[in-house]
Chains A and B, each alone.
With several copies, the nearest count.
Chain A
Amino acid sequence: MFEIEKIRKQFPILKQKVNGKDLVYLDNGATVQKPEQVIDIINKMYSQYNSNIHRGVHYLSNKSTELYEGSRETIRKFINAGVTEEIIFTKGTTDAINLIAFSFGEKFINEGDEILIAETEHHSNIVPWQMLCKRKKAHIKVIPADENGELILSEYKKLLNKKTKLVAVAHVANSTGIINPIEEIIAEAHKSGAKVLIDGAQAVQHKKVDVQQLNCDFYVFSGHKMYAETGIGVLYGKKELLEEIPPYQGGGDMIKSVSFAKTEYADLPLKFEAGTSNYVGAISMGEAVNFINSIGKANLERHETELLKYAEEKLSLIDGLTIYGKSENKTSAISFLLHRIHFYDVGMILDKLGIAVRTGAHCAEPTMKHFGITGTVRASFAVYNTKEEIDILSEGILKAQKMLS
């Protein structure tokens, strides 16, 4: 049974008043709020178990290490990776993509090689590849989107060739909520001999993800967008590949032995976890998975799909409102503009009504350019949002429209 009130009660921040109004938090694409059980585990870590991991022999250190490694296993199950060594903790999605851009790049990218990314990517899945290509004299090729924001697969297939070493695509585009056809993208890339990185930052919190079934080579996501702390994320990579590519950062914990003459790197996953890992963050991520599991991914997906459909219906009724990103395959986000009204002004007025939405280019300037705009208003949903909140949003938009035109 999906009991929304019970779920909402678990999020202390939702009880907040903002500008005298009940908070309506619809900026979940930027970051998701945290349930009590996640806040509690952080508290508990710092009040009872905190100690640096891996290197200690004492009780607290063992305790922290056990919880940390336990969390790794929880996350392995969450995305159904084959073995725990395939789960690398990073600072977040951006960090994970940069890691691959560097390490995969050092090993496999040479002058003239090509990397394919989609036109609708987040900057974090664009800039690291640009930097890599600049360093290696390689090239970025862009998978174009159609006027609705959907990727054009026929064009994608034409772009694939022997020089294509990597395809990096979002599972869900953050600025539109469109779910990309990654199954087909992955299969095609593999046929052509390219590896695939999937940016799951906007997907894992909304959809069931099975990396073995997807057969992607890398899958990355952030804790803070899936009910966990900021400053933590995950890189999943196929074991053989992670073993082949060199480490990214050097430091404590990622080595087997160090001397000035010769340093040997540790085995997976530690090879990619230099320095003191954000173990409290990682543990909070395991707890966030527990939270999601306690609701059930299917229930969560059903609820969020309902919300999206409802929001699409409601907002379509508003005169002069254009939705950007139209597709049957969307999840949990709706991007729009009001005719002749600046998104920033709408955001400001909504804020005054206690409604938090995101405005701007959503770190996806090429997508905005594609639509011929500079930004949108984006409402994005999490498991705790309600239809009533969408009603409030819709009334708020009408009010803003009235004030601003």
Chain B
Amino acid sequence: MTTEQIQNEIIDEFSVFDDWMDKYEYLIETGNTLAPYNEKNKTPSNLIQGCQSRVWLDAEYKDGKIYFTADSDAIITKGIIALLIRVWSEKTPDDVMNTDLFFIDKIGLRENLSPTRANGLVSMIKNMKAYATAFKAKYES
């Protein structure tokens, strides 16, 4: 599936919820199912320090594809991370670099991408794209 298709799939899933509680419960659930992050990789260089919740992000490049792993100490943040990883894991650098991330807005979780430095998500997205750019430069040129 393309990153666009995955995003549309997520939007579909969320469309059945008609109130925020269900959405957030689903998000929390999603967060709880996020693949475990290797504690050893909770290094300062993998840390994205939000004012509020902390995010750890790591990535590997294998056979043309990127494998992201990530974690957060806040479960709601973790839920969003899980969604982002679903969109972007096992995608090529070009896929990641060229994605227009529209689903977060569409599923009504935009407040999680506020311009505050609160949860580190905005930086996380930036860093995921930066990984893609770096891998492309390193392995594909």
Contacts and interface: CB of A to CB of B under 8 A. Distances in A.
Interface residues of A, number: 30
Q: How large is the interface on B (under 10, 10 to 19, 20 to 34, 35 or more residues)?
A: 20 to 34
B51 A69 contact: no
A256 B49 CA distance: 8
A343 interface: yes
A403 B74 contact: no
Interface stretch (B61-69, B83-91, B114-122, B126-134): B114-122
B28 interface: yes
A344 B77 contact: yes
Interface stretch (A57-65, A162-170, A237-245, A385-393): A57-65
Contacts of B76: 344-345, 348
Contact of B51 (A54, A66, A404): A54
A342 B74 contact: yes
B111 to A, nearest CB: 6
A62 B20 contact: no
B20 to A, nearest CB: 5
Contacts of A359: 52
Contacts of B52: 57, 343-344, 347, 359-360, 375
Contact of B24 (A62, A69, A256, A352): A352
A404 B79 CA distance: 12
A293 B24 CA distance: 42
B118 A55 contact: yes
A74 to B, nearest CB: 14
A112 interface: no
Contact of B111 (A62, A257, A344, A374): A62
B118 A57 contact: yes
Contacts of A349: 24
B51 A361 contact: yes
Given A342-B53, A344-B76, A349-B24, A54 B111 contact: no
Interface of A: 19, 53-57, 59, 61-62, 65-66, 69, 256-257, 342-345, 347-349, 351-352, 359-361, 374-375, 403-404
A-B residue pairs, 7 tightest by C-beta: A342-B74, A344-B74, A344-B52, A62-B114, A344-B53, A69-B115, A360-B52
Given A55-B118, A65-B114, 8 more contacts: A54-B117, A55-B51, A257-B49, A345-B28, A345-B74, A351-B111, A374-B54, A403-B24
